[in-house]
Amino acid sequence: MILIDGKKVSQTVREEIKKEISEISEQGKHVGLAVIIIGDDPASQVYVRNKINACNETGILSRRYAFPANVSETEIIELIETLNNDNDINGILVQLPLPKHLNKERILSAIDPKKDVDGFSAEQSGKTFLGEEALSGCTPEGIITLLKAYNIKIEGLNAVVIGRSNIVGKPAAILLLKENATVTVCHTRTKDIKLYTKNADLIIVAVGKPKFLTKDMVKDGVIVIDAGINRTEEGKLCGDVDFENVSKKCSYITPVPGGVGPMTVTMLMYNTLKAFKNA
């Protein structure tokens, strides 16, 4: 079993990004990311801190805009419109989830698609769907980058994606198709998930349920990518995979933490640099 080291791959990709950014700085230009965080969700605070730290590490200029949970939708949309027209800002990110009174669709669709470094907009996800150059979702893009970093040939694999979220499952399926995998998407209404996972060469799990994928569901030699981040009752981080038992049957597997998570943040830096180059 080979443990896929997301921290190590992240470091390599970040070094490349850092090098490009320093060349840009030498020309007197810079790459900028605006991060908007609303409310005090503890997990979001951690994610945003990681994103800002990654900016500092790679040389991307970051601006953090923090608001209390009771901020008005108008105030957020006005800020986004200002940032859309700010030439120092190449990427705009609104950390999710949002407090309930805010309309996620209205807020996210206010972001100029060219600055949509999360890849959530209709324009960027549409380009991803068409197989065109796009700012694709950071987590699915990170998963493909991890597989390639370990020289795993995706073409021809029976790939099963469990979860159909717009952030992970759906775009992951599209990117795997682009790499010529045969893709099956399972979800909450799938009658017998095991029927599909038992025959899978590659399984991507993004369901948000601790230890969802168990050893009886997989075949020997399977490649498992765990995009889950959950907390156990003791407060420990764990993924969607019963790692201890499933890993014994795997050819490759990602740990949680240290697998997909660091890659998500790294691909955000990658997308921000890409948005700068496109501008």
Print burial letters for 96-124: b (CB count within 10 Å at least 16), e (below 16): bebeeebeeeebbbbbbbbbbbbbbbebb
Beta strands in 83-149 (DSSP E): 91-94
User: Any contact of residue 185 with ligand GUN (CB under 6 A)?
Assistant: no
Beta strands in the chain (DSSP E): 2-3, 32-38, 61-67, 91-94, 158-162, 182-186, 202-205, 222-226, 230-231, 237-238, 250-253
User: Any contact of residue 96 with ligand GUN (CB under 6 A)?
Assistant: yes
Nearer to ligand GUN, 94 or 161 (CB): 94
Count of chain residues binding ligand GUN (CB under 6 A): 8
Q: Which listed range, 58-66, 87-95, 142-150, 155-163, lies at the site for ligand GUN (CB under 6 A)?
A: 87-95
d(CA 36, CA 97) in angstroms, rounded, equals 12
DSSP 150-186: TT---TT-EEEEE---TTTHHHHHHHHHHTT-EEEEE
Among positions 55, 107, 167, 250, the unique one binding ligand GUN when judged by CB under 6 A = 167
User: Any contact of residue 138 with ligand GUN (CB under 6 A)?
Assistant: yes
Q: Beta-carbon neighbour count of residue 43 at 10 Å?
A: 11
SS3 of 140, please?
helix
Respond yes or no: is residue 95 known to be catalytic: yes
User: Any contact of residue 95 with ligand GUN (CB under 6 A)?
Assistant: yes
Residue 220 beta carbon to ligand GUN: minimum distance, rounded to whole angstroms: 32
User: Any contact of residue 66 with ligand GUN (CB under 6 A)?
Assistant: no
C-alpha pair distances (Å), 173 with each of 40, 48, 124, 158, 235:
32, 26, 15, 12, 31
Catalytic residue among 18, 27, 45, 95: 95
Nearer to ligand GUN, 104 or 248 (CB): 104
User: Any contact of residue 135 with ligand GUN (CB under 6 A)?
Assistant: no
Nearer to ligand GUN, 59 or 140 (CB): 140
Residue 201 beta carbon to ligand GUN: minimum distance, rounded to whole angstroms: 26
User: Any contact of residue 242 with ligand GUN (CB under 6 A)?
Assistant: no
Which of 121, 122, 155, 120 is closest to 140 using CA atoms? 120
Residue 229 beta carbon to ligand GUN: minimum distance, rounded to whole angstroms: 9
Nearer to ligand GUN, 93 or 172 (CB): 93
Respond yes or no: is residue 51 known to be catalytic: yes
User: Any contact of residue 237 with ligand GUN (CB under 6 A)?
Assistant: no
Residue 29 beta carbon to ligand GUN: minimum distance, rounded to whole angstroms: 25
Residue 199, both tokens: 């025959």
SS3 of 214, please?
coil
What is the contact surface with ligand GUN in residues (CB under 6 A)? 93-96, 118, 138-139, 167
**Active site (catalytic) residues:** 51, 95, 118
